[in-house]
Amino acid sequence: MTDFSDLGLAPKVLKAVSDAGYKTPTPIQAGAIPPALVGRDVLGIAQTGTGKTAGFVLPMVTMLARGRARARMPRSLVLCPTRELAAQVAENFDTYSAHVKLTKALLIGGVSFKEQDALIDKGVDVLIATPGRLLDHFERGKLLLTGVQIMVVDEADRMLDMGFIPDIERIFGLTPFTRQTLFFSATMAPEIERITNTFLSNPAKIEVARQATASETIAQAVVMFRASRRDRLAKEKREVLRAVIEAEGAACTNAIIFCNRKVDVDIVAKSLKKHGFNAEAIHGDLDQSQRTRTLDAFRAGDLRLLVASDVAARGLDIPAVSHVFNYDVPSHSEDYVHRIGRTGRAGRDGKAVMICAPSDEKNLAAIEKLIDKEIPRAENPIPAAQARAPELVEEEPRRTRSRGGARSKPDQKPDRARGSRRDDKVVGMGDHMPAFLAQSFDERMAS
């Protein structure tokens, strides 16, 4: 079995690895570090959680230990899709460069430009950034990328999902042609493959098999849910989520709730808070300080439920999560394994519960095929009266507007003919006929 000492890392970097408690490299680390140390481009195909962050941080720290930074000209650049992932990469640099004098700057949205400008002006060895904020600094004339020796693109598939690919291509064009590129992605979509063919030169390709099984310490369940009516689906699905959480009782000390769409993250979090749950949302529209406070509260145990999308949850490293609730069935089956892997970590027990509507059954089948097992069905905790099949639900009586403009009551049918009553008596003019109607045409003209 390979040891970190066999990979060619500097002694001071090895000491930092040992201090962090790591002894054996993961497959992506063992495959990526040696070619990176000799200056080759690297193409790594690996998901989050495989240790790829250390796979590029360790060789970068070793190589950057030689040399000195210049003002406004960083020596290396790491691009990340989200603020949280960028912050986690920055923490890794702090850990592994503990015995090496390196400077770094973290350029992410939601933080003052002035503070970031001050760091860049001093000169940094490592620049960790999200694409948008990096280009903001460049366009303001505060940053030059002509001194970049090593460039890392992390989570390229998420960059594609978030629409960052044009920004990535532009940033590549701003860096020297002679740079070394370390490129990591979980999948190789055609657009990702086009970029690697364009900007990487004879890369060493390291592919780690996708994780297709969940930890045995995670108890899995799926609640099959059918709305009583189509227009009630969202409301009733939130009712099911609350009931599922309540059914877990005190065993659910904290949980991450995953939604497929960012708009649902906010709606679900607000609904939970409205019903007395200790919940908060995390998504890209929040101020960075608020996102940091939310994550810190969740890590500290002050926040019980964290509602997030896959993109916002990238880079979250929270070891003690008792439950994961999939409010939506993920459209990519690999994401299911990634999501539920947030619980049951480090030998702890965990539980993952998913809510599946009829439209999600195709995605559920794909997940079960990937993990090669059927996920146990759990009983819907909502009483049967609230979870009736559509054909058993009577339509609510609709209010109708009569021709005269008055609303009819829900339990009263509108009259069939104008001028009729419910007893079907025809009402005529009787003795109240106006006198002029009794006159002949000639008499009326004469008058």
Q: Which tokens is 317 given?
A: 């490293």
Q: What are phi and psi of 174, to 5 degrees?
A: -90, -10
pLDDT band at 415 (very low <50, low <70, confident <90, very high): very low
pLDDT band at 344 (very low <50, low <70, confident <90, very high): confident
For the beta sheet containing 218-224, the strands, ordered from the edge strand earlier in sequence to the opposite edge, are 279-282, 305-309, 255-259, 323-326, 350-356, 218-224, 377-378
Q: Is the dihedral of CA 303, 304, 305, 311 positive or negative?
A: positive
Angle at 338 between CA 13 and CA 104, to 5 degrees: 35
pLDDT, position 361 = 95
**One fold for 4-207 and 218-392:** yes
> Are the CB atoms for 333 and 368 separated by under 8 Å?
no
Distance CA 356, CA 328 (A): 7
* For range 154-168, the mean pLDDT: 88
Query: Nearest Cα to 251, choosing from 305, 301, 322, 326?
Result: 322
Query: Nearest Cα to 260, choosing from 167, 186, 329, 178?
Result: 329
Specify the fold of 218-392: Rossmann fold (3.40.50)
Angle at 250 between CA 364 and CA 297, to 5 degrees: 85
Beta-carbon contacts of 206 under 8 Å, excluding residues fewer than 6 positions away, are 27, 28, 31, 32, 42, 43, 44, 45, 46
SS3 at position 282: strand
Distance CA 87, CA 163 (A): 20
For the stretch 196-254, pLDDT in tens is: 999 999 999 998 866 566 778 889 999 999 998 989 999 999 999 999 999 999 999 99
Statement: residue 29 has pLDDT above 90: yes
Q: Which tokens is 255 given?
A: 């949980």
pLDDT, position 441 = 60
Whether the pTM exceeds 0.85: the reply is no
Give the start-to-end residue ranges of the domains of the chain: 4-207, 218-392
Angle at 44 between CA 49 and CA 70, to 5 degrees: 95
* For range 322-347, the mean pLDDT: 86
Poorest-pLDDT segment among 7-21, 35-49, 372-386, 395-409:
395-409
Distance CA 186, CA 200 (A): 17
CATH code for the domain defined by 4-207? 3.40.50.300
Mean model confidence pLDDT for the chain: 84
Distance CA 376, CA 373 (A): 9
Q: Is the dihedral of CA 236, 238, 242, 248 positive or negative?
A: positive
Distance CA 286, CA 10 (A): 40
Distance CA 334, CA 213 (A): 10
Q: What is the DSSP letter of 407?
A: B
Distance CA 394, CA 180 (A): 66
Element (H, E) at 107: strand 104-107
pLDDT band at 364 (very low <50, low <70, confident <90, very high): very high
Q: Which tokens is 438 given?
A: 């009794």
Query: 10 Å Cβ neighbour count for 44?
Result: 27
Distance CA 66, CA 48 (A): 30
- Amino acid identity of residue 184, one-letter, is F
pLDDT, position 443 = 61
